[in-house]
Amino acid sequence: MSNWLSEREMREVAPAELDESASPVPTRVVSNGEFNPLPQTRQQKRVESRIAELGDRLGSRVGLDRREFLKTASGMAVAFLAMNEVHGSVFDVASAEASDFEAANERAARLASQRIFDDQTHFNRDDLRNPEPIEVGHFAAKHWNPGMLDEMGILHERFQFENYLKEIYLDSDTDVALLSTVPFEDRPWLLSNEQMALSRQLVNGIAGSRRMLIHCAFTPGIPGWLDDVDHCIENLKPDSWKGYTIGDPLAPANAKHPWRMDDEKLVYPFYEKAQKAGITTICVHKGLVPRDYEKSMKGVWRHATVEDVGQAAKDWPGLDFVIYHSALRPFVEIPDHDAEVFEKTGYIRWVSDLAEIPEKFGVSNVYGEIGTSFANTVVTQPRLCAGMLGTLLAGLGDDHLLWGTDSTWYGSPQWQIEALRRLEIPEDLQEKHGFSALGPDTGPTKNAIFWDNGARLYGLKAQSTEGAVTGDAIDTMRAEYRATGITRSNLSYGYVHAD
């Protein structure tokens, strides 16, 4: 992870929201401001071109221009057909969905009731006016989701509360969202713990149900950090905790307070407080570092690995440790090299290490979360994405993998939801590595990832498909919104590489 974009780097990017392709599934990497986005790959250009071709041809048959057609359920199917043509048969999609509105709409209606718990979502404070935190959006807009960008003033609004509500609760099938933040050492956080608590109060008060959950961020080593933990426990009552072992997520090489999960002196007193308070889910950011991490992050990069997870989990069996991003290493590049290594060896840096922890340490309280890691790999190296899920499911168990999207950095999470619904581990990978199939869109494995596993951790009635949140004000608003015929914007927000 790099510092905020410099003036020179800003000249090399463009607003993702202005991308003309407006693909329903991203075809470029979008950066939110934490890193410089990479150029679109040759494969991504082929996918984008094929989506445009099919969108023009099929849209003209029903009297729609390409942009409007690609907002429909048939347009979403077109994107996965194009990806299969380029990457091989990885996604379950029928050509009839693309050419037949009725078939596509029937599928969408069937899946609309599938329960979705998004374990990682974000928006920014209203007073955050500088471009810095928006760059996860630029990498994604260039390489995955080119529809994301706009002029800077409007761009900030895209990452604020009102648009968050629209993207998460109206433009996607997400039922419950966990709101998170990014804590920095010497600058304002994206959201303070207090602001997250107020957001939860507002959303759940309007909904009349438990639609939003929150983290409280904890920052070991910062002066007064344990007092802040006590304040959160007593006054804010978070649903879980979030920490960054690298210290400062945007300037880790200069971080003053990196820490280890198994630090008995520094961190174990926090675990004791969390366990005593009954807030026992500890979420920790791992992975997502640049290719030159050993040089650019100096000694701090080891804090991004999972080498400290197993002992902490063994020492604290009463806590559940959720490793965010499942520790996938690539962050500021398309994961081509990691895909090549996986194809040859079956190893995925740090992800495979995470998957080995339960057997190696004899623990059952370690979970993987796939925000950003899924988004990046599924549209750039879908076989690697499938292998990542297969590796995690085999090692952690199909009851220990959580759905997360890191939205709204990448626009509405609906394209990611659709990608997992359709993704299958290719048969050759299943045979070579002993992976089990992911199965159908509403099969037990995908339902577990989308809802059951997170719902069990957070008390959301994991085995119920009714009653947890249905029939509330959000459901009413969603039904009214969709009845208007308003369609997804297919926008992503942030920066893409300027061609």
Total length of the chain:
499
Per-residue model confidence (pLDDT) at position 457: 95
Mean pLDDT of 428-439: 97
Mean pLDDT of 202-220: 94
Residue 324 has pLDDT above 70, yes or no: yes
pLDDT bucket at 297, cuts 50 / 70 / 90 = confident
Residue 10 has pLDDT above 70, yes or no: no
Q: CA angle 219-221-223, nearest 5°?
A: 90
Mean pLDDT of 226-253: 93
Class of 117-458 per CATH? alpha beta
Q: Given the structure tokens 């071109």, which residue do they identify?
A: 49
The contacts of residue 33 (CB under 8 Å, 6+ apart) are 4, 5, 131, 132, 133, 134, 135, 136, 137, 138, 494, 495
Per-residue model confidence (pLDDT) at position 152: 36
Alpha carbons within 13 A on the beta-carbon side of 326: 34
Per-residue model confidence (pLDDT) at position 4: 46
Q: Please state, in angstroms and rounded to a whole number, the distance separating the CA atoms of residues 96 and 310.
A: 47
Per-residue model confidence (pLDDT) at position 296: 85
Instruction: Show me where the domains of the chain are located.
Output: 117-458
pTM for the whole structure? 0.89
Chain-wide mean pLDDT for the chain?
A: 86
Q: Please state, in angstroms and rounded to a whole number, the distance separating the CA atoms of residues 267 and 249.
A: 18
pLDDT bucket at 481, cuts 50 / 70 / 90 = confident
Q: What is the pLDDT of residues 21-79, one digit of tens each?
A: 568 888 876 665 555 566 778 888 899 999 999 989 998 988 898 888 888 889 999 99
pLDDT bucket at 150, cuts 50 / 70 / 90 = very low
Per-residue model confidence (pLDDT) at position 151: 36
Q: Please state, in angstroms and rounded to a whole number, the distance separating the CA atoms of residues 46 and 210.
A: 42
pLDDT bucket at 492, cuts 50 / 70 / 90 = low
Residue 136 has pLDDT above 50, yes or no: yes
Lowest-confidence pick of 5-14, 129-138, 184-193, 281-290? 129-138
| Helix (H), strand (E), coil (C) string for the chain | CCCCCCHHHHCCEEEHHHCCCCCCCCCCEEEECCCCCCCCCHHHHHHHHHHHHHHHHHHHHCCCCHHHHCCCHHHHHHHHHHHHHHHCCCECCCHHHHHCHHHHHHHHHHHCCCCCEEEEECCCCCCCCCCHHHEHHHHHHHHCCCCCCCCHHHHHHHCCHHHHHHHHHHCCCCCEEEECCCCCCCCCCCCCHHHHHHHHHHHHHHHCCCCEEEEEECCCCCCCHHHHHHHHHHHHCCCEEEEECCCCCCCHHHCCCCCCCCCCCCCHHHHHHHHHHCCCEEEEECCCECCCHHHHCHHHHHHHCCCCHHHHHHHCCCCEEEEEHHHCCECCCCCHHHHHHHHHHCCCCCHHHHHHHHHHHCCCCEEEECCCHHHHHHCCCHHHHHHHHHHHHHHHCCCCEECCCCECCCCCCHHHHHHHHHECCCHHHHHHHCCCCCCCCCCHHHHHHHHHHHHHHHCCCCCCCCCCCCCCHHHHHHHHHHHCCCCCCCCCCCEEECC
Per-residue model confidence (pLDDT) at position 315: 98
Percent of the chain scored above 70 by pLDDT? 81
pLDDT higher at 73 or 343: 343
pLDDT higher at 66 or 482: 66
Residue 130 has pLDDT above 70, yes or no: no
Residue 460 has pLDDT above 50, yes or no: yes
Residue 464 has pLDDT above 90, yes or no: no
Mean pLDDT of 340-354: 97
Lowest-confidence pick of 49-53, 341-345, 370-374? 49-53
Mean pLDDT of 218-233: 96
Alpha carbons within 13 A on the beta-carbon side of 269: 10
Residue 140 has pLDDT above 80, yes or no: no
Percent of the chain scored above 90 by pLDDT? 58
- What is the spatial order of strands in the sheet that 117-121 belongs to? 117-121, 176-179, 212-217, 240-244, 281-285, 320-324, 366-369, 401-402
Lowest-confidence pick of 62-76, 336-350, 352-366, 474-488? 474-488
pLDDT higher at 422 or 23: 422
Per-residue model confidence (pLDDT) at position 463: 43
pLDDT bucket at 306, cuts 50 / 70 / 90 = very high
Residue 91 has pLDDT above 80, yes or no: yes
Residue 154 has pLDDT above 60, yes or no: no
